[in-house]
Amino acid sequence: MTMAILHAGISTFLQAPHVPPNRDALRRAGADTAILGLPYDSTTVTRPGASHGPRAMRDASAHFSFGGGYHFDYDVHLPEHLTLVDCGDVDGAAGRAQETVERTERALDELYAAGCFPVLLGGDNMTTIPGARALARHLDGRMGFVMFDTHLDTAPDIDGEPLSHCSPVHRVLDLPSVAGHNVVLIGIHGAANPKYEKDIADEHGVRVFTVRDVDRLGIDEVARRALAAAADGTDGIYLSIDIDVLDGAFAQGTCGPEIGGLTGRELVRALEIVASGPVAAAECVEVAPIYDPTGNTARVGARLVVDILAARARRLAGEDRS
């Protein structure tokens, strides 16, 4: 087998061909799976830097091109089941969250019109707002939602701004096709979750699995319960991964790192279970490579996206063995 230098060439995710987010171009390419970046962090109230996440994860994804698209853990060859393209980045409007959300939704509408499964690379966690809104419009019925995160992110607004990386779950709950009992948060912990955000989650019936729940029940049981809740009566699930759900020892390159989070092994296993379900869109957000000179956090983010793709490929192949 002849191998090229892994990091050679133009940086796209898994070295996939670049195709603009245009339905006709995507159809001509035969695409059914599309990467879309949102390099935007203007809504963060903590450390900036997540706008560099999409490029860093693309660069890091070259590491996983060595096997030619084969994922050992899933025993699946991605190109046999997915036609992956990279649609580049949404051109975010600096300081204008509403315009950025609208541009992202328009791009996602093109992906859905072409029949593509979208994977968003953030950007701060505001990325979730246009991502979830776009999917909700394109489902025939109700939408489920699973988010791996250290933080609840249920704030109604931040100083009057409803489009914030602190508010994605509240904006999901605003959607008419979303019921609170179909919204699941995994990995919540730490000293940076305001009491009013917990009260909002309780009020809406959001299923919250804390790190202590993971310790008590085990990650397999938590993931199975999360998938069952999100899939109950819904037509598709939006899957969100905020990289800060991991303990800061595993992912220091993020805007709001915490100690005491999930381990890498726990998150990988949870994804194997959750992503085996009816996931209709996914994202990985809050990778801020400037805080991690090793590049490890971006590599972790890229690996998680590869795992989501592998789970989808195995699901399409009818080989779900989780």
β-pairing, 117-122 with 183-188? unpaired
Task: Give the C-alpha distances (Å, rounded to integers) separating 52 from 24, 181, 255, 296.
Answer: 29, 34, 12, 14
pLDDT of residue 320: 47
Q: Give the CATH class of 13-316.
A: alpha beta
pTM exceeds 0.85, yes or no? yes
Q: What are phi and psi of 279, to 5 degrees?
A: -75, 125
The pLDDT tens digits along the chain (322 residues) read 445 556 667 889 999 999 999 999 999 999 999 999 999 999 888 899 999 999 999 999 999 987 789 999 999 999 999 999 999 999 999 889 999 999 999 999 999 999 999 999 999 999 999 999 999 999 999 999 999 999 999 999 999 989 999 899 999 999 999 999 999 999 999 999 999 999 999 999 999 999 999 999 999 999 999 999 999 999 999 999 999 999 999 999 999 999 999 999 999 999 999 999 999 999 999 999 999 999 999 999 999 999 999 999 999 998 544 4
Q: What is the pLDDT of residue 319?
A: 53
Q: Rounded CA gap, 51 and 56, in Å? A: 10
- pLDDT value at position 5? 59
**Annotated domain spans of the chain:** 13-316
Token output for 209: 């699995």
Query: Contact 145/181 with Cβ under 8 angstroms?
Result: no
CA distances from 139 to 80, 113, 145, 235, 283 (A): 26, 12, 13, 7, 17
Q: Which of 151, 184, 157 is nearest to 170 (CA)?
A: 157
